[in-house]
Amino acid sequence: MAYQFNFAPVFANFGQLLAGAWITVLLSFGAMLLGTVVAVVCAVGKSAGPAPVRWLINAYIEIIRNTPFLIQIFFIFFALPAIGLRLSPNVAALVALTVNIGAYATEIIRAGIESIHKGQVEAGVALGLKRGQIFRYVIMKPALRTVYPALTSQFIYLMLTSSVVSVISATDLAAAGNNIQSKTFAAFEVYLVITGMYLLLSLAFSALFALVRRAAFDYPMSR
């Protein structure tokens, strides 16, 4: 018996999918920004910090990288209330995504920092640059330029991973699709449309990251 496609129930509820996609974008961008801050701090601490700081950062990275993201989000949403820290689903999702991407991005950024030759830092000192200027222009900018492709690939993977947060009732795109599917039973059509929307989001993020790279790295180099 031939399957009869019926996208009418999906497009009748398309507003819910758009709202869910917007939440996915907000969670992803928020986690990318906060996770980058966490990663830069941890990467610097791991590269130049005292032994206790390096040990704590290494423990954080190993715990996050060697446990499932699903367990991490369950811990934040279900376990933390036991010690009095109760978060809404969307906030818990943001925290979990930030903690997760922070660990992975730390190793990426650390590799970039350690690729900077000490002679470049010494040259900056010889030119009379202040410590903050050396960190920003001599270390971080070249380091980020080096690891930018790997970092942005990890960010796109983070956006796709965010679909998992629907398990704690976060109102993202996957959750919106699950709600529509449970009401309409048009599972094939719903998840086909969601697949297409995640693909479009991935392409949009890739295009945005390409523009950022051109503005932040390529253009200054061409002048």
- Is 170 within 8 Å of 90 (Cβ atoms)? yes
* One-letter-per-residue 3-state SS of 186-203: CHHHHHHHHHHHHHHHHH
pLDDT digits (tens, 9 = 90+) for 72-84: 999 999 999 999 9
Task: Report the pLDDT value the prediction gives residue 18, as an integer from 0 to 100.
Answer: 97
Task: Report the pLDDT value the prediction gives residue 49, as an integer from 0 to 100.
Answer: 84
Residues 6+ positions from 89 with CB-CB distance below 8 Å: 77, 165, 168, 169, 170, 171
pLDDT digits (tens, 9 = 90+) for 179-203: 999 999 989 999 999 999 999 999 9
pTM: 0.90
* Reduced DSSP (H G I as helix, E B as strand, rest coil) percent helix, strand, coil of the chain, to 5: 85, 0, 15
- For the chain, give every domain's residue range: 17-222
For 17-222, CATH number? 1.10.3720.10
Residues 6+ positions from 215 with CB-CB distance below 8 Å: none
pLDDT at 221 over 60: no
pLDDT at 158 over 50: yes
Tokens 């690939």 correspond to: 153
**Alpha-carbon distance 31 to 45, whole Å?**
20
Task: Report the pLDDT value the prediction gives residue 113, as an integer from 0 to 100.
Answer: 87
pLDDT digits (tens, 9 = 90+) for 111-153: 988 888 777 777 777 777 777 777 777 788 888 889 999 999 9
Task: Report the pLDDT value the prediction gives residue 1, as an integer from 0 to 100.
Answer: 56
**Alpha-carbon distance 168 to 88, whole Å?**
9
**Angle in degrees, 0-180, between the axes of helices 14-48 and 89-114, rounded to the nearest 10:** 40
Q: Which of 166, 193, 173, 177 is nearest to 26 (CA)?
A: 173
